[in-house]
Amino acid sequence: MRKPNNKSDKYHLMAIELVNKMTLEEKASQLKYNSPSIERLGINDYNWWNESLHGIARSGTATMFPQAIGLSATFDTELLYRVADAISTEARAKYNQSVKYNDRGIYKGLTMWSPNINIFRDPRWGRGQETYGECPYLTSNLALAYINGLQGDKEILKVAGTAKHFACHSGPESIRHSFNAQVSLKDMNETYLPSFETLVKKGKVESVMGAYNRINGEAACASKYLINKLSEWNFDGYFVSDCWAIRDFHTSHNLTTTIEESAALALKHRCDCNCGDSYEHLVLAYEQGLIEENDITESAKRLIRTRARLGMFDEYCEYDSIGYEVVSCDKHKNLSLESAQKSMVLLKNNGLLPLNKNVIKSIAVIGPNANSIDALRGNYYGNADEYITFLDGIRNEFNGRVYYSQGCHLFKDSIQPLGEINDGISEALTVASLSEVVILCLGLDATIEGEEGDTGNAFASGDKTDLLLPKSQRTLVKRILEMNKPTIIVLAAGSSLNPLGELADSIIQAWYPGQMGGKALADIIFGKISPSGKLPVTFYEKSEKLPEFTDYSMINRTYRYLEGNVLYPFGFGLTYSNVKLSDLYFDKSTLSGSFNIKNEGNYNIDEVLQIYIKNESSTFAVKNYSLCWFKRVNIMIEEELKVDFSLSVESLSVVNDNGLREYNNDIYSLFVGVSQPDELSLLLSGVKSLSTRFEVSLNIM
């Protein structure tokens, strides 16, 4: 982890010195995301907006890793660190070249507005794909690893990361500019804020971005409650508004009546940087007496300090020597492949997988996502210099005949504008009937699952209206499965879907697996590696049983609070092998222990070990249980490993109705397994798990 800066560090002093030389107008100008140069002070123009969610995005060539939700499915903090390290290395390489050509435009800087650590509260949210899923513990740990990789471990920031969107931001997209999320203090502190707290306190994240919506009446970018939280956590970076969010104060939230008032309201709540145009009115707001010069000065200092911490005012910094050859280099592409391999989740397998490519003579690869580059990238993506679609991957790996049929449009009734409804079906049936095995590549892409204003918005502004595949694909699935061919369903999507795959032999959730996704899929399908991803979100059975999309209460949402409606549970994912757990030992005085895992199957695998904790006595306990530890291990055939674990004391705490964390004397059950506790996992996979029960006294507070 990066060495923490403190208030007296040299970059802080450098910022004070520079800002003290600025006029009021100059200081105000530095608060815009597209800040102009101040030549007499040696300050270049700088555009604060850059993106790095799963690779440098929107800025030309870069290695494209799996979309964030897929990275999360790896349950692999060490991998997340390496991915983020590769991303920040490419960012520095690109930055070093851009400034050489004096190109300081948008998406060219070192301030990344990633990751998105919102809790994936509702499976219909189009931007859920950008998150690490529905579990605060998983999100916190993966995001922390990502931020550490991004920001580096030196005194100089490698790049600056951003925890966004602060807070309680998870749709609906269509009303995000006017929406008021009603959130209880308990849900806020138990579910929505922990990942932000972790990134600020443990990750020293350099930036926090405010959300579009209001929370309990306050704009997220001007919230006393939220800004107090940041102070409490000793946040030491800059706060930035989501893009054009401050304008929403008067245009859609009706919190203010003029743009000056909106700018003032944000600045008064420590919103240092404005993505948008509201802060172009800061000087006018000052002249109208809505803000004081000191408000501007303090924000300018924080922003200039971030730039100083990035080495921008140093003669030389150690990252200046990173050469461009690292961009999209083989090492990074291989890391993208490894990430994709570890991200894919085997949801169902009746034994068809892995395929023996030496025996099978013909495969039909069918579906709108079979040969789709969009299905590899999700949203917030860069330009990969090589894409391996699912079809490409299978063809490259398989020597027999591969038949391809698009089968249907991703969501339209016909492939051809003038075509009849289901105009691709007869071809799909033809190639299926000619083949020994069918691989049906379905799902979504960012044209129908994504961000408001950023997508084709075929459905609800990027959100899903239900958990089903689009109608065109439902027809395709039904017709193909009715043939009773050996069939594998591959889903590319950033969220929970129910593919109605009861008749399918195997189902693989591939997420949006990045530029090498097709190779990763083929490696899994042909058994070069075993699948090892786990669901970072619950796959629900029916959208009808979900709470209202606009309801921010956690009741009946996510594995911690749900009441049935589960198709595949959080944490679930099959491998090609079979492990047995044994010898659970737990010392409640140190909150640590160990257990054994043995690979009793016929494949070398990675397995993700998971421990869930259930508070059996507190009235403030979450309804079900919470993930409190996880670890990905590699285990060979016949191998037996002893695995040590230790729990954080926070795992045993509860959040009361005032939103305060309590550490009490309670009774707990601990569940150790490769999925959720038995009652769920046994239903689905037959894998074993262990449990223990203990009582601990934790009167820490």
DSSP lists the bridge partners of residue 218 as: 215
The region of 64-72, 98-106, 248-256, 456-464 touching its own copies under the rule CB under 8 A is: 98-106
* Residue 315 C-alpha from the chain's centroid: 36
614 secondary structure, DSSP code = E
Binding to its own copies by residue 423, rule CB under 8 A? yes
CB of 438 to its own copies, least distance (A): 15
Residue 17 or 45: the one with the smaller Cβ distance to its own copies is 45
Spatial distance between the Cα atoms of 233 and 309, rounded to a whole number of angstroms: 20
**Of the candidate residues 427, 551, 616, 640, the single one contacting its own copies (CB under 8 A):** 427
**Of the candidate residues 426, 617, 634, 697, the single one contacting its own copies (CB under 8 A):** 426
Binding to its own copies by residue 548, rule CB under 8 A? no
Whether residue 388 contacts residue 517, with contact meaning beta carbons closer than 8 Å, is answered with yes
Q: What share of the chain is helix, strand, coil (3-state, %, to 5)?
A: 30, 20, 45
Binding to its own copies by residue 402, rule CB under 8 A? yes
**Of the candidate residues 44, 61, 251, 594, the single one contacting its own copies (CB under 8 A):** 61
Binding to its own copies by residue 456, rule CB under 8 A? no
Phi/psi-derived region of residue 97, left when phi > 0, alpha when psi is between -120 and 50, beta in every other case: alpha
Please tell me which residue in 122, 187, 236, 242 is annotated as part of the active site.
Answer: 242
Q: Is residue 242 flagged as an active site residue?
A: yes
Instruction: Give residue 437's identity as a one-letter amino acid code.
Output: V
Interface with its own copies in residues 104-123 (CB under 8 A): 105-108
Residue 172 or 514: the one with the smaller Cβ distance to its own copies is 514
Binding to its own copies by residue 376, rule CB under 8 A? no
Binding to its own copies by residue 425, rule CB under 8 A? yes
Interface with its own copies in residues 29-58 (CB under 8 A): 58
Spatial distance between the Cα atoms of 665 and 616, rounded to a whole number of angstroms: 11
Spatial distance between the Cα atoms of 488 and 484, rounded to a whole number of angstroms: 11
Residue 395 or 519: the one with the smaller Cβ distance to its own copies is 395
Whether residue 142 contacts residue 78, with contact meaning beta carbons closer than 8 Å, is answered with no
Spatial distance between the Cα atoms of 631 and 335, rounded to a whole number of angstroms: 19
Site string for its own copies, 431-450 (x = CB under 8 A): x--x----------------
**Of the candidate residues 193, 222, 391, 480, the single one contacting its own copies (CB under 8 A):** 391
In the three-class reduction of DSSP (H, G, I as helix; E, B as strand; rest coil), residue 237 is classed as coil
Q: Counting Cβ atoms within 10 Å, is residue 450 exposed (0-12), middle (13-18) or buried (19+)?
A: buried
Structure tokens at 400: 């027999």
Binding to its own copies by residue 97, rule CB under 8 A? yes
Strands 539-540 and 362-366: what pairing? unpaired
In the three-class reduction of DSSP (H, G, I as helix; E, B as strand; rest coil), residue 543 is classed as helix
CB of 394 to its own copies, least distance (A): 11
Tell the residue number behind the tokens 């068809």, with chain if given: 352
The region of 99-107, 160-168, 537-545, 690-698 touching its own copies under the rule CB under 8 A is: 99-107
Interface with its own copies in residues 318-357 (CB under 8 A): 324-325, 328
Single out the residue of 683, 562, 667 nearest to residue 624, CA to CA.
562
**Of the candidate residues 203, 237, 424, 501, the single one contacting its own copies (CB under 8 A):** 424
Supply the residues annotated as catalytic.
242
Positions touching its own copies (CB under 8 A) are: 58-61, 94, 97-98, 100-101, 103, 105-108, 324-325, 328, 371, 383, 385-386, 391-392, 395, 401-406, 415-416, 418-420, 423-427, 429-431, 434
